[in-house]
Amino acid sequence: MDGARTFYVTTPIYYVNDKPHIGHAYTTLACDVLARFKRLDGFAVKFLTGTDEHGQKVEKSAEAAGLTPQALADMNSANFRELAQRLEISNDDFIRTTEPRHIAACQALWQRLVDNGAITLGHYEGWYSVRDEAFYAEDELIAGPQGQKLAPTGAPVEWVKEPSYFFHLSQWQEKLLAYYEASPDCIAPQSRRNEVLSFVKGGLQDLSVSRTSFTWGIPVPNDPKHVMYVWLDALANYITAIGYPETGGEYARWWPADLHMVGKDILRFHTVYWPAFLMAAGLEPPRRVFAHGWWTNEGQKISKSVGNVIDPVMLIERYGLDQVRYFLMREVPFGNDGDYSHRAMVGRMNSELANDFGNLAQRVLSMIGKNCGAQVPQHGEWTAEDREMLGAAHGLLETVRGALDRQLFHEALEAMWVVVRAANGYVDRQAPWGLKKTDPARMGTVLWVLAETTRHLAMLAQPFMPGSAARLLDQLSIPEGERSFVFLTPKHALKPGVALPAPQGVFPRFIETEAEAG
Ligand code: ME8
């Protein structure tokens, strides 16, 4: 793949104080769809995920659980790795911030920032939220129900007073604004970009980047009483994984990252702090950060105290992996908040997967099985309607590519379902079952058009629903080596006469039990 265009995509690294939930699954899945799409589209891809293991939050959770921070990190990091496997995530690396490679990279980055005069020793006095692992200014705080001060996220805050190293963020305002200006696509969606711009235009304060009141972190080089601020440590994972402090080889190949996918709550860290750290170290800022929205559960905010946390493994067991992958990517315009509900899940699963796509494939493949000797049929001249159907299928790659380059997963899927619905309409109008006796040659042409349309749909479904798409492609006898998108051309269309295996349904319906329907 040398010389191929590259695509480097990252998930946030997840805090090990918590079990994986739907939010983690969502971010990782979105990156997986992009990584798979780009690989099939001829890119060399690096897809990174992992766990964020240092900081006061993890230290406190470990204490509460009666474990050492390392033991807690080992246990929960394994849970995240396992979730990635359950979701069939195609990540190329899994980074842990307690790994020696990361500690070395972080310390090198720190040293570079010190050498460049971007970090100096001072004294911090101000508000800190352990839950958010973030510092807040007095005027950002809100009043809690008992009048207590809270972070704008609702998290508790405490007053911190200790010696600290500072990163001179205040000096980066103009350069950050110039970076946003020069790369209009570096923050998406647009509303998030506006949020960041107005935050930076409002002025930036220097950032405390070390702590002395606890020890679970990466020691500051030459001053081990201090551990690095967990966000400086965490953000650096994106360059550790490509070999920093080496800046040739792998680093040069992948950096700047094409996309950091994040949730809306961690936008500021990725679009203000991170590019400033990088520029101060003489490195390039990322190409793009996309902030997605948050899920609620049956209309309610998800929270541990309410007890409505959604376990992605439970969803997979109940509805099926590809059904869950499809739902999460289709239900909500990517970037917006969205609501998970059993009804919505079953609705998508039964109407769009089982009825629309599943039925199309099943009808076409079983008619071919019964009436065409279980072989790809011969086709004759195209009618205008045939051409229109095939044209819609051929146009799909470009539409889906355009949508995914803007991370609009829902638009990509909607474009595919426009073709699914058009194909179902075409079957109904052409009624190939009636042609068997009257015009078998025409029946062959109609079924060929439908099978070729199904091939396009199944190929493009691969990034979203890898298992189901593979089963469909198997049923169309598409060899494994002919499933990348260069094969989505008329030249590589289905060859008449190729034997097809017995068709099998790919998208089962969800049957409600009485209790569930109740
Ligand atoms: O923030 N819906 O880790 P994290 C959608 N370690 N997304 C949700 C969600 C929900 N209900 N709840 C959480 C961290 N998320 C840091 C990242 S990166 C250098 C360091 C998302 O485990 C949230 O938006 O708290 C975030 O993107 C992700 O889960 C990880 O959260």
pLDDT digits (tens, 9 = 90+) for 162-187: 999 999 999 999 999 999 999 999 99
Give the distance (Å) from ligand 1 centre to CA of residue 263. Answer: 6
- What average pLDDT does range 456-469 have in this prediction? 98
Q: For residue 389, is it within any domain?
A: yes
Q: Whose CA is nearest to atom 7 of ligand 1?
A: 23
CA distances from 102 to 105, 116, 203, 273, 304 (A): 5, 21, 32, 19, 31
Q: For residue 10, is it within any domain?
A: no
Residue 125: what pLDDT? 93
Q: For residue 479, is it within any domain?
A: yes
Q: Whose CA is nearest to atom 22 of ligand 1?
A: 14
Taking the C-alpha atoms of residue 89 and residue 86, their distance in angstroms, rounded to an integer, is 8
Range of the domain at 441: 342-492
Residue 86: what pLDDT? 97
- What average pLDDT does range 505-509 have in this prediction? 96
Q: Is the CB of 24 under 6 A from ligand 1?
A: yes
pLDDT band at 304 (very low <50, low <70, confident <90, very high): confident
User: What is the domain count for the chain?
Assistant: 1
Residue 305: what pLDDT? 77
What token pair was written down for 428?
């109904």
Residue 516: what pLDDT? 65
User: Of the residues 10, 19, 24, which should be mutated to test ligand 1's pocket, given the most ligand atoms within 8 Å of the CB?
Assistant: 24
Point out the least confidently predicted range of 97-101, 142-146, 341-345, 462-466: 142-146
Residue 513: what pLDDT? 79
Taking the C-alpha atoms of residue 158 and residue 169, their distance in angstroms, rounded to an integer, is 22
What pLDDT digit, counting tens, does each position of 203-248 carry?
999 999 999 999 999 999 999 999 999 999 999 999 999 999 999 9
Q: For residue 423, is it within any domain?
A: yes
What pLDDT digit, counting tens, does each position of 21-69 carry?
999 999 999 999 999 999 999 999 999 999 999 999 999 999 999 999 9
What pLDDT digit, counting tens, does each position of 358-409 carry?
999 999 999 999 999 999 999 999 999 999 999 999 999 999 999 999 999 9
Q: For residue 475, is it within any domain?
A: yes
Q: Whose CA is nearest to atom 3 of ligand 1?
A: 14
Residue 303: what pLDDT? 83
Q: Is the CB of 275 under 6 A from ligand 1?
A: no
Q: Is the CB of 23 under 6 A from ligand 1?
A: yes
Atom of ligand 1 nearest to the CA of 265: 24
Q: Is the CB of 169 under 6 A from ligand 1?
A: no
Residue 95 identity (one-letter amino acid): I
User: Of the residues 22, 29, 49, 52, which should be mutated to test ligand 1's pocket, given the most ligand atoms within 8 Å of the CB?
Assistant: 52
Residues in Cβ contact with 359 at an 8 Å cutoff, skipping those fewer than 6 apart: 424
Q: Whose CA is nearest to atom 18 of ligand 1?
A: 12
Of 472, 467, 433, the C-alpha closest to 453 is 472
Q: Whose CA is nearest to atom 23 of ligand 1?
A: 263
Q: For residue 375, is it within any domain?
A: yes
What pLDDT digit, counting tens, does each position of 318-334 carry?
999 999 999 999 999 99
pLDDT band at 4 (very low <50, low <70, confident <90, very high): confident
- What average pLDDT does range 76-88 have in this prediction? 97
pLDDT band at 512 (very low <50, low <70, confident <90, very high): confident
Q: Whose CA is nearest to atom 15 of ligand 1?
A: 23
299 exposure class (CB count in 10 Å sphere: 0-12, 13-18, 19+)? exposed
Give the distance (Å) from ligand 1 centre to CA of residue 276. Answer: 21
The answer to whether the CB of 150 falls within 8 A of the CB of 157 is yes
Q: Is the CB of 235 under 6 A from ligand 1?
A: yes
Asked if the model's pLDDT at residue 517 lies above 90, the reply is no
Give the distance (Å) from ligand 1 centre to CA of residue 173. Answer: 26
Q: Is the CB of 259 under 6 A from ligand 1?
A: no
Residue with tokens 């809306």: 264
At 6, is the secondary structure helix, strand, or coil? strand
pLDDT band at 253 (very low <50, low <70, confident <90, very high): very high
Give the distance (Å) from ligand 1 centre to CA of residue 488. Answer: 36
Phi then psi for 18, rounded to 5 degrees? Answer: -130, 160
Q: For residue 349, is it within any domain?
A: yes
Instruction: Tell me what the pLDDT averaged over the chain comes to.
Output: 96
pLDDT band at 2 (very low <50, low <70, confident <90, very high): low
The length of the chain, given as a count of residues:
518
User: Of the residues 294, 336, 337, 341, which should be mutated to test ligand 1's pocket, given the most ligand atoms within 8 Å of the CB?
Assistant: 294
User: Of the residues 109, 265, 267, which should be mutated to test ligand 1's pocket, given the most ligand atoms within 8 Å of the CB?
Assistant: 265
Atom of ligand 1 nearest to the CA of 274: 19
Mind giving me the DSSP string for 32-81?
HHHHHHHHHTT-EEEEEEEEE--SHHHHHHHHHHTS-HHHHHHHHHHHHH
Give the distance (Å) from ligand 1 centre to CA of residue 477. Answer: 41
Residue 286: what pLDDT? 98
E strand segments, 229-342? 259-263, 289-292, 295-297, 300-301, 338-340
pLDDT band at 428 (very low <50, low <70, confident <90, very high): very high
pLDDT band at 306 (very low <50, low <70, confident <90, very high): confident
Give the domain CATH number at 445.
1.10.730.10
Of 332, 238, 328, the C-alpha closest to 281 is 238
Q: Whose CA is nearest to atom 25 of ligand 1?
A: 15
The answer to whether the CB of 159 falls within 8 A of the CB of 234 is no
